[in-house]
Structure 1
Amino acid sequence: MLTASMMAFAQKEVELQEVTVQGSKVVQRVDGQTIHPTRQQLESSTNGYSLLSKLTLPHLRVDPVMHSVTALSNLGSVQVRINDIAASKEDLLALDIKAVQHIDYIDNPGVRYGEGVAYVINIIVKNPVSGYNIGADLTNTLTSVNGDESVYGKINYGKSEFGVNYSLGYQNFEGTEYEEKTTYELEPGTEYNVLRQQLEGQNKSLDHKIQLTYSLSDSNYVFQSKLSAHRDIQPERSLAKFETYEDHSSSRTSSPVLDLYFHRDFKRHQSLTANAVGTYIHTDSYSEHNEGGNYAYNVIGKTYSLWTEAIYENRLKPFTISLGTQYGQKYIDNVYFGDANASNSMRSSMMYFFGQLKGRLGKFGYMGGLGMSTRYYRQANWNDRFLLFRPKMTLAYPLAKHLKVKYDFEVSQHVSQIALVSDVCIKQNAMETLVGNPEIMPNRVTSHDLRLTYSTPKIMSELQGYWRLNANCNMEKYTRQDEHFYQTQTNAGNECSFFFIQSYNRWEVISEHLSATVYGGIYRFFNFTDDYRHTYTAFNGGANIEAYLGKWTLTAYADNGWNFMEGEHRGHQPAAWYLTASYQMKKNITLSLYAQHPFCSNPLRHKTEVLSRYIHKEASQHSRDLGNMLTLNFTWRFSSGRKYREIQRTMNHRDTETGILQSE
């Protein structure tokens, strides 16, 4: 949490030591950017997703209809936060746009954010101290069965705030088409060709979630508690009909989460933060794959986890020092019945320590830190403990008035998903089986990032060169035995690396009325093991145009997806193109119409190619429901007596990993 005195200090630091771009209201920082949305962007935004989509953040795709933020790279995950605490979808839909001060886009996260995080979006909002705020955000697709409804309310009395949020989501996509052409090498010189063509497909879900929040805050402390519960009203179901067989799957999940958070400011710009999150996940799933004969299994899964964090920060004038620790404990009990008969109980624990120093030395901006973690896994007769280190250094220097160079170096470790280290085998079709590998070891990741940024009141242009090396990385491997093929993961002697050169450019064509963004880059991938050597070159890019015309807001966005190669998979995340028109009917009512994939009746949803010495596979999936998709969003907000005092944080650190191994 940032108090009023801390905010004043932070603002002073920005004014004296950073270069502010007045037109686009962007402040370049050592670890990313601070973006001050324009009045037009705030007034035309209906929720957090709507606001983020207008910023056109580099390397990210924000879908305001499906309420998602996707990284267009495989550098790591995306964290969306409100006042530095991870935010849920419900938090973003209920975001008080009037209270937004700025957005910190951190595309070079320090060791403070833990492992596997590539991008952090931190929305800084003011804290209401009086009045109430109620509203509804209703999203419904007109061309298919798809919706996301959310209603919420917050009331402030004295130092306390009470909040409630209820959301209902539903979907029934029936226009799914899947085609797969596979060639199996049964033995040298003998091939077996299979065409799997889906005749009919359906995916449907119906779920709801409620969360209750209470916070107590003053000028120098905040205590917050959140109790949330998610449950599928009906099981999520999937159906795929082929010419001679059918595949079915269903899954029902329920998960309560309790989140407790405390922050205290002390004298001399010091602070202490503590957070504890407890999660329980119950999963009941069923799957059957009937190619070549009946194959069906059930999974009853239970997951218990506890995650805690404590951070000390001292904001001295020449630099800021941060010290902290994270501790996690997780227990998984998944029982497989039927043809995949197995019992998988796993215990894991994690302890992470970090120290970070961030500041300036003359014209140099710097950030340096070291993270160290120890991880423990145990299942059946197998157990292991890993000690992982994460050194990180960033240097920034202004070459000229509008020109800045920045270099980042990091060594980290990649840890596989829990499901991949289980000892369970799942049949995927008549010829293939997915096998977990408990002996997968974490691998070292080394990255170098060099950026040259040019900023003026009208233009921001960035040229980035990035290189990453994954030594002994976890990569997939196909093996053949008795004319059957097993897919698993190993990391003995493997090397996976890639580099890219990308340019990002934003132009304020007419200040506060018309802006344009275009980005693109060349990516080169290398995947080397004892069994194969694969390389791949791809272009990834996109563009965005925003126009603010009084009560109307018009937006056009397009990208070509994300083309990549990892292991024996060459993948293509499909292209996306959206058109948006929003109209502010009244001060508190906004109607928005989203057109996704216009002029395309059956857009690509997923495409992949397997290049194994034993298997060559080309698979693609299309969805008629996503073609010419029209979605209407209705937003209503009403507030009274609202007054703001300081920054407050919203919490949503929760566990979602069940450890269940599933077929693709």
Structure 2
Amino acid sequence: MKRLFFMPLLAAMIAVHAQDIKEGEMLHEVTVKGSKVVQRVDGQTIYPTRQQLESSPNGYSLLSKLTLPHLRIDPVMHTITALSNLGSVQVRINDIVASKEDLLSLDMKAIQQIDYIDNPGVRYGEGIAYVINIIVKRPVSGYDIGADLTNTLTAVNGDETVYGKFNYGKSEFGVNYSLDYRNFKGSEYEETATYELESGTAYNVLRQQLEGQNKNLDQKIQLTYSLSDSNYVFQSKLSARRDIQPNRLFSRFEGYEDLSSSRTSSPVLDLYFHHDFGAHQSLTANAVGTYIKTDSHAEHNEGGSYAYDVTGKTYSLWTEAVYENRLKPFTLSLGTQYGQKYINNAYSGDADASNAMRSSMFYFFGQLKGRLGKLAYMGGLGVSSRYYRQGQWNDRFLLFRPKMTLAYPLARSLKIKYDFEVSQHVSQIALVSDVSIKQNAMETLVGNPEITPNRVTTHDLRLIYSTPRIMSELQGYWRLNANCNMEKYYRTDGHFYQTQTNADNECSFFYIQSENRWEAIPEHLSLTLYGGIYRFFNFTDTYRHTYTAFNGGASAEAYLGKWTLTAYADNGWNFMEGEHRGHQAAAWYLTASYQLKNITLSLYAQHPLCSNPLSHQTEVLSRYIHKEVSQHSRDLGNMLTFNLTWHLSSGRKYRDIQRTMNHRDTETGILQGK
């Protein structure tokens, strides 16, 4: 936050630029024609400005300019991170999950609007906290080819993508190839740990990294075909990802080395169909088959040699069918999801184990969304049945998810919104495996197949003020996790074990946060500021931990003709879960882009004026272990990255919308050490 000195500088630059514009032109430019943000019962609809679209070389760049609440969007590393502990982020194009390659090849001329759903209904399943749905028009003729080339000038890091889309009659053919590489050698890891032995004495350990490397080189290709008419769309996508070289993590400490490497290949077939029945009804069906093959090796050699290999195979099938009827008083949505998954991971070496697991999921939901006078509402119920089988463990769970959202206007620009939900949290597959992995000479990570889903109750109250130039939101949020899956440490014969359990545990937190956006000079300068106080509670039969944190950030976007300048900063995400008090590192960056006819040149400066920024920090507060861990990265310090985007299209005409898909499975179920 202390680095926000650049915001007054941007404002001064805008003022100088504005003085150079004739008075008549100035009045024309700043005329506010209507709000670019429309509040909805489940979030907001955003209509990007012409300047935002023309100055954005890809989807990540556009989303970063929108400064969506609760999210950090990195246009260089092509990541979208939720600055909270509420769940994951799902990006969609026309309501179908999109891949990184889809965002990099997004046609800005086709974008109609962006629905940012920060209160997803039961339609989106479990564990989804935020949904970004980009609505685009469907091309019916011509071609669209391009390249998005990102290369860091101060470190070995790059992401290269080339793509092409061709339309002929009712058909569209698409191909996309991407190459991703990284070789970071400037990491600095330090850990101070105190272990309380059975005798009552304290054993202190300093683990300080002398040398490190984070290296990857992988490629992905995807082929798409779609057939569409005015009332139906059929699309198929075949994609394959493979590591050209094994992903490698290496750390050298005083007297020993830690190493992990893995190579993954994964083909995915995705079939999608949507049909409109008249003006009010529609049916959508989607089926995705995924295969993942993984070969990995790991060594944790503190206190002696410890090495193991994992050969893993994962097969999964996911299907969905959704019926929607847009009636006059409300919209009715009914749907079902079904999934089957088989995991077979063979551990050899010092972690000798065979982990075979079968799981299945059946989910049904019904939802109503409408309006009663001025009162907008959304209510639904999801019911899921989950089945796990692993060795001698055989469990089936029936889970319910009721949800209700109400929104009411208190005045012309002021609205109050309340959301209530009861859901169930299901642990990652790797955490319920019966495999144990040694972390170092003193600690071992142990899976627990007896973990059961836990109930989550949330209350969300918001007061929203919105005008064409100002948007301000005050939010109060409370979440209670009863019998939640939380960390547990225990010791035996001088060794310490970390596992998870959900017996008589309670994990809850609440926060009060304000999000504010101001169009200081409409279509020329936008400013955003947010911040909140967070309070965490973690109670079990062996420990009681509380923690209070402040999380906040700010951004600015300036549009100067062909130039676009952006600035962003936040203090990370401070949180406490179980016996870990964590700090997701702060981020700050500056961006300058120059727009030519078909080429956009961008320069990104990440963590300027800092040669060795913090990338991760955590503290363990167990009664048996106290540990402070920090990691810095010289590669991320004063990081300069150059992006070149080239785009060429001809004969493009648009109609209706195009749906792209990318629901893929990435969870291998492999239990890994740090």
Fold-level similarity (TM above 0.5): yes
* 1:551 paired residue number: 562
User: Over the residues paired in the alignment, what is the CA RMSD in angstroms?
Assistant: 0.7
Q: Would you say 1:116 and 2:116 are equivalent positions?
A: no
* 1:630 paired residue number: 640
* 2:9 paired residue number: none
Q: Is the 8 A contact 1:255 1:280 kept in 2?
A: yes
Counterpart-to-counterpart distance in 2, 1:240 and 1:482 = 28
Residues 385-429 of structure 1, C-alpha deviations (whole Å, 9 max, x = no match): 000000000000000011000000000000000000000000000
Q: Is the 8 A contact 1:23 1:508 kept in 2?
A: no
Q: Shift of the alpha carbon at 1:622?
A: 0.5
* 1:589 paired residue number: 599
**Partner-residue secondary structure (3-state), 2:530:** strand
Residues 352-395 of structure 1, C-alpha deviations (whole Å, 9 max, x = no match): 00000000000000000000000000011111000000000000
Q: Shift of the alpha carbon at 1:22?
A: 5.4
Matched AA of 1:144: A
* 1:366 paired residue number: 377
* 2:21 paired residue number: none
Residues 289-334 of structure 1, C-alpha deviations (whole Å, 9 max, x = no match): 1100000000000000000000000001111000000000000000
Which of 354, 360, 376 matches 2:365?
Answer: 354
Which of 595, 605, 609 matches 1:599?
Answer: 609
Q: Is the 8 A contact 1:327 1:352 kept in 2?
A: yes
* 1:215 paired residue number: 226
Q: Shift of the alpha carbon at 1:24?
A: 5.0
Q: Would you say 1:343 and 2:354 are equivalent positions?
A: yes
**Partner-residue secondary structure (3-state), 2:243:** strand
Matched AA of 2:632: H
Matched AA of 1:617: K
**Partner-residue secondary structure (3-state), 2:351:** coil
Q: Is the 8 A contact 1:24 1:508 kept in 2?
A: no
Residues 3-36 of structure 1, C-alpha deviations (whole Å, 9 max, x = no match): xxxxxxxxxxxxxxxxxx9555000000000000
Q: Shift of the alpha carbon at 1:267?
A: 1.9
Q: Would you say 1:26 and 2:13 are equivalent positions?
A: no
Residues 550-609 of structure 1, C-alpha deviations (whole Å, 9 max, x = no match): 00000000000000000000000000001000001x221000000000000000010000
Residues 204-242 of structure 1, C-alpha deviations (whole Å, 9 max, x = no match): 000000000000000000000000000000000111000
Which of 464, 486, 504 matches 1:453?
Answer: 464
**Partner-residue secondary structure (3-state), 2:344:** strand
Can you give the 5+ residue segments of structure 2 that lack an aligned partner in the other structure?
1-31
* 1:399 paired residue number: 410
* 1:285 paired residue number: 296
Which of 462, 468, 476 matches 2:487?
Answer: 476
Matched AA of 2:581: R
Which of 79, 92, 107 matches 2:103?
Answer: 92
* 2:321 paired residue number: 310
Counterpart-to-counterpart distance in 1, 2:284 and 2:297 = 42
Matches for 1:614-653 after TM superposition, within 5 Å: 614-653=624-663
**Partner-residue secondary structure (3-state), 2:635:** helix
Matched AA of 1:567: G
Matched AA of 1:659: G
Counterpart-to-counterpart distance in 1, 2:529 and 2:77 = 23
Counterpart-to-counterpart distance in 2, 1:599 and 1:357 = 52
Counterpart-to-counterpart distance in 2, 1:487 and 1:573 = 22
Counterpart-to-counterpart distance in 1, 2:33 and 2:454 = 43
Which of 44, 59, 64 matches 1:53?
Answer: 64
Matched AA of 2:198: E
Residues 336 and 268 of structure 1, relative CA distance in 2, 3 Å threshold: same
Can you give the 5+ residue segments of structure 1 that lack an aligned partner in the other structure?
1-20
Q: Is the 8 A contact 1:423 1:436 kept in 2?
A: yes
Q: Is the 8 A contact 1:78 1:119 kept in 2?
A: yes
Q: Shift of the alpha carbon at 1:268?
A: 4.4
Matched AA of 2:343: I
* 1:655 paired residue number: 665
**Partner-residue secondary structure (3-state), 1:187:** coil
Percent identity over paired residues: 86
Q: Shift of the alpha carbon at 1:648?
A: 1.2
TM-score by length of 1: 0.96
Matched AA of 2:539: F
Q: Would you say 1:173 and 2:181 are equivalent positions?
A: no
**Partner-residue secondary structure (3-state), 2:523:** coil
Matches for 1:352-501 after TM superposition, within 5 Å: 352-501=363-512
* 1:206 paired residue number: 217
Counterpart-to-counterpart distance in 2, 1:188 and 1:36 = 65
Q: Is the 8 A contact 1:500 1:521 kept in 2?
A: yes
**Partner-residue secondary structure (3-state), 1:626:** coil
Q: Shift of the alpha carbon at 1:189?
A: 2.8
* 2:236 paired residue number: 225
Counterpart-to-counterpart distance in 1, 2:522 and 2:279 = 40
Counterpart-to-counterpart distance in 2, 1:376 and 1:339 = 30
* 1:9 paired residue number: none
Which of 142, 145, 148 matches 1:137?
Answer: 148
* 1:14 paired residue number: none
Matched AA of 1:313: E
Matched AA of 1:398: P
Matched AA of 1:637: H
**Partner-residue secondary structure (3-state), 1:112:** helix
Q: Shift of the alpha carbon at 1:52?
A: 0.1
**Partner-residue secondary structure (3-state), 2:541:** coil
**Partner-residue secondary structure (3-state), 1:625:** coil
Counterpart-to-counterpart distance in 1, 2:357 and 2:259 = 27
**Partner-residue secondary structure (3-state), 2:197:** strand
* 1:39 paired residue number: 50
Counterpart-to-counterpart distance in 2, 1:187 and 1:432 = 15
Q: Is the 8 A contact 1:610 1:617 kept in 2?
A: yes
Matched AA of 2:608: P
Q: Is the 8 A contact 1:23 1:458 kept in 2?
A: no
* 1:184 paired residue number: 195
Matched AA of 1:595: A
Matched AA of 1:631: T
Task: Tell me the matched-pair count.
Answer: 643
Counterpart-to-counterpart distance in 1, 2:459 and 2:58 = 35
* 1:513 paired residue number: 524
Matched AA of 2:139: P
Counterpart-to-counterpart distance in 2, 1:591 and 1:644 = 27
Counterpart-to-counterpart distance in 2, 1:78 and 1:119 = 5
Counterpart-to-counterpart distance in 2, 1:384 and 1:401 = 52
Counterpart-to-counterpart distance in 2, 1:197 and 1:605 = 16
Counterpart-to-counterpart distance in 2, 1:516 and 1:495 = 39
TM-score by length of 2: 0.95
Which of 255, 258, 270 matches 1:259?
Answer: 270
Counterpart-to-counterpart distance in 1, 2:618 and 2:654 = 50
Q: Shift of the alpha carbon at 1:187?
A: 2.0
Q: Shift of the alpha carbon at 1:510?
A: 0.4
**Partner-residue secondary structure (3-state), 1:49:** helix
Matched AA of 1:94: S
* 2:17 paired residue number: none
* 2:590 paired residue number: 579
Matched AA of 1:515: S
Matched AA of 1:626: L
